[in-house]
Homo-oligomer: A and B are copies of this chain.
Amino acid sequence: MIIPPGFASFSEYSDQFLRNVAVDNVIFGYHEKELKVLLQQPYTLEKWTVTGGYIKKTESIEDAASRIAFDRTGIKGLYLKQFGSFGNPQRVIDDGFTPQRIGKITGFELPADSWIFDYFVSVAFYTLTEFSKVESTKGELEADSRWWPVNELPPMMFDHAHIINEALSALRLHIAHFPIGYELLPEKFTLPEIHSLYETILGKSLDDRNFTKKLLLTKIITKLDETRKIGRHRSPFLYKFDKEHYQEGLKSGVALVF
């Protein structure tokens, strides 16, 4: 726990939070065939972390996740899905998280037996957004904040690379059972565009015809009587989401196992 400016002591700041438990948000961003994840680099570390923060005693874990996600992305109402909690004693070792180092940066001297140096359980959420819409804002405590391609991660703190992998598995399981795309594609899109969205998130190629057939069976998209010229001889039809079936799918699920 790093103390932001304006607090007189460690306990004045830390007393508002639960101890030994925190929230991590894995914020995925999709944009034109790229899947990225928002990472930050605290001043205290050379390694990177997913976005996260502490839980106020007065808020639920879900409220903490929303507050922290809003802080980092400026987007309100991001759909955050809890996918697991992570906790083991190795979470504090070898990542420069020492009383000395923290004291140097914050100006507060913490006792070496403070609970802050016991491991923290991380309650982890993920979300998926359109990353060109997000201005990632680096907090006062971060040296850097940036979108990274999910398959080219920088050195990560603790088990954060593992947390991202688990979030990705949860996201992939999710899109096999629920519709996605509403906020990730333009209002009118081509079949190749939605095909690329699924391929990018799943990280594998999907047979064209089979994909289209399954997708149309779910009725979440509708063909428009309209084409888009994308090349001299190519003018594919446009599609849009069918609001009713999409909403119904969000509730009851759709069969899209690939």
A interface residues (Cβ-Cβ under 8 A, vs B)? 18-21, 55, 57-63, 82, 84-89, 115, 118-119, 121, 123
Contact of A115 among B19, B85, B86, B89 (CB under 8 A): B19
Main secondary structure of the interface of A (DSSP, over half): mixed
A63 CA to B121 CA in the complex, in Å? Answer: 13
- Contact A58–B89 (Cβ < 8 Å): yes
B21 and A121 contact, CB distance less than 8 A? yes
Asked if A119 and B57 sit within 8 Å, CB to CB, the answer is: yes
| B residues less than 8 Å from A55 (CB atoms) | 87, 121
**What's the least CB distance linking A234 to chain B, in Å?**
37
Q: Is the CB of B60 within 8 A of A123?
A: no
* Other-chain contact of A19, B19, B61, B85, B86 (Cβ < 8 Å): B19
On chain B, the residues within 8 Å of A61 by CB distance are 85-88, 121
A59 to chain B: closest residue by CB: B89
Contacts of A119 in B (CB 8 A): 18, 57
Give the distance in Å from the alpha carbon of A42 to the alpha carbon of B86 in the complex.
Answer: 28
Contacts of A57 in B (CB 8 A): 89, 118-119
Give 5 closest A-B pairs by Cβ, nearest first. A60-B88, A21-B21, A19-B19, A61-B87, A18-B20
Q: Is the CB of A121 within 8 A of B118?
A: no
- List B contacts of A58 (CB < 8 A): 89
With A18-B121, A19-B115, A20-B18 known to touch, is A60 a contact of B82 (CB < 8 Å)? Answer: no
Residues of B within 8 A of A59 (CB): 88-89
Residues of B within 8 A of A87 (CB): 18, 21, 55, 60-61, 123
Of the A-B pairs whose beta carbons lie under 8 Å apart in the complex, a sample of 11, sorted by A's number, is A21-B121, A55-B87, A57-B89, A57-B118, A59-B88, A59-B89, A60-B87, A82-B85, A121-B121, A121-B123, A123-B123
Q: Can you name the residue of chain B whose Cβ is closest to the Cβ of A58?
A: B89
A149 to chain B, nearest CB (A): 28
Are B88 and A85 closer than 8 Å at their CB atoms? no
Which residues from chain B contact A84 at a C-beta distance below 8 Å? Answer: 82
Shortest distance from the beta carbon of A83 to any chain B beta carbon, whole Å? 9
Bound together, the chains give a CA A18 to CA B19 distance in angstroms of 8
**Would you call A60 and B89 a contact (CB within 8 A)?**
yes
Alpha-carbon distance between A68 and B140 when the two chains are bound, in angstroms: 41
| Residues of chain B lying within 8 A (CB to CB) of residue A88 | 59-63
